[in-house]
């Protein structure tokens, strides 16, 4: 499993999901399951990537690879 927290200072990323699809965008937010489970119902840490002006949320287990663009 990819440790999404090591990318918290990145600006732009390429994320490859478990289906092999690549998403290129700007890092939005990282959500910790310990901090956000009650409010958002998360069952694991999440990362939001803004792609073409739309937010896409990824569970940590859905990410197979992360590449930093900047």
Tens-digit pLDDT profile for residues 48-70 = 999 999 999 999 999 999 999 99
CA separation for the pair 36, 39 (Å, rounded): 5
Confidence category of residue 44, pLDDT binned at 50, 70, 90: confident
What is the CATH number for 53? Answer: 2.30.30.100
**Which ranges of the chain does DSSP label H, i.e. alpha helix?**
33-40
pLDDT at 9 over 90: yes
Task: Write out the residue range of the structural domain in which residue 27 sits.
Answer: 4-68
CB 46 within 8 A of CB 54: no
The residue-averaged pLDDT of 33-45 equals 67
- What is the per-residue pLDDT for 38? 58
Confidence category of residue 32, pLDDT binned at 50, 70, 90: confident
Total structural domains within the chain: 1
Q: What pTM was estimated for this model as a whole?
A: 0.85
Taking alpha carbons only, the member of 15, 70, 18 closest to residue 47 is: 15
């Amino acid at each position: 499993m990819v440790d999404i927290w090591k990318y918290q200072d990145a600006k732009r990323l390429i994320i490859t999901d478990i289906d092999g699809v690549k998403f290129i965008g700007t890092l939005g937010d990282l959500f910790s399951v310990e901090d956000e489970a009650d409010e958002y119902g998360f069952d694991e840490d999440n990362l939001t990537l803004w792609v073409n002006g739309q937010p896409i949320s990824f569970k940590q287990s859905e990410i197979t690879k992360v590449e930093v663009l900047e």
